[in-house]
Chain A
Amino acid sequence: MNHNLLENITAVEISTVIVEEIVDEMFIPWEVYQAIYYLSRSCLESTVDCSLRNHYLQLRRQLELAYCLLLVDPSSPLYNRRLVTEIKRDLPILSQSARWETIPSRLPEPIPSNRHQTMSAVNKLLGDRSFINILQQLHQRKTILDRRDRILRNSNFRQDITGTPYAQTSLQLDGKIINRYSQAILERSDRALLLQLHERSTATGEQQWRGLIEFVLSLIGRR
Chain B
Amino acid sequence: MNERLGSTNEILNSCIKIESIKISRQLAIPHQVYFCLNSDILDQIEIEQSHHKLTLSSDKLADLRYYILLNIPLNKTTSSLSYQRSPITFSTNYLFSNKQQPTTVVRSVINLESGKITQQIQQDLWQNRQLLSKIISAHYWLIYQIIEQLPLESSKIDSRLICACSLAVAVTTFATLWYFFPLNYLATVVIALGVFFGWIIWNKSWFNKQLKSWIIHHLIDGCLAKNVRRRKIALRILSFMIH
Give A contacts to B, CB under 8 Å. Answer: 1-6, 9-23, 127, 129, 133, 137, 162, 165, 193, 197, 200-201, 204-205, 207-209, 211-212, 214-221, 223
Which chain A residues lie closer than 8 Å to B243 at the CB level? 221
Bits for B149-166, please: 1 = Cβ < 8 Å to A, else 0: 011110000000000000
Which chain A residues lie closer than 8 Å to B144 at the CB level? 204, 207-208, 211
Indicate whether B120 reaches chain A with its CB closer than 8 angstroms: yes
* CB < 8 Å neighbour of B79 from A20, A129, A165, A207: A129
Known: A208-B108, A212-B112, A216-B72. A21 touches B122 (CB 8 A): yes
Indicate whether B23 reaches chain A with its CB closer than 8 angstroms: no
Q: Main SS of the interface on chain B? A: mixed
Q: List 8 A-B contacts (CB under 8 A).
A: A1-B213, A12-B116, A15-B116, A17-B121, A22-B120, A129-B78, A204-B108, A218-B239
> Could you count the A-B residue pairs with CB atoms below 8 Å apart for me: how many are there?
141
B73 touches A197 (CB 8 A): no
Taking the closest CB of chain A, its distance from the CB of B90, in whole angstroms, is: 8
A165 touches B118 (CB 8 A): yes
Indicate whether B33 reaches chain A with its CB closer than 8 angstroms: no
Taking the closest CB of chain A, its distance from the CB of B206, in whole angstroms, is: 13
Indicate whether B200 reaches chain A with its CB closer than 8 angstroms: no
B151 touches A221 (CB 8 A): no
Indicate whether B231 reaches chain A with its CB closer than 8 angstroms: no
Which chain B residues lie closer than 8 Å to A212 at the CB level? 68, 88, 110, 112, 147, 150
B151 touches A218 (CB 8 A): yes
Taking the closest CB of chain B, its distance from the CB of A202, in whole angstroms, is: 9
Known: A9-B114, A221-B212. A14 touches B69 (CB 8 A): no
Which chain A residues lie closer than 8 Å to B242 at the CB level? 218, 221, 223
A12, A16, A209, A216: most-surrounded residue (chain B CB, <10 A): A216
A12 touches B117 (CB 8 A): yes
Which chain A residues lie closer than 8 Å to B75 at the CB level? 1-4
Residue of B nearest to A211 (CB): B147
Indicate whether B91 reaches chain A with its CB closer than 8 angstroms: yes
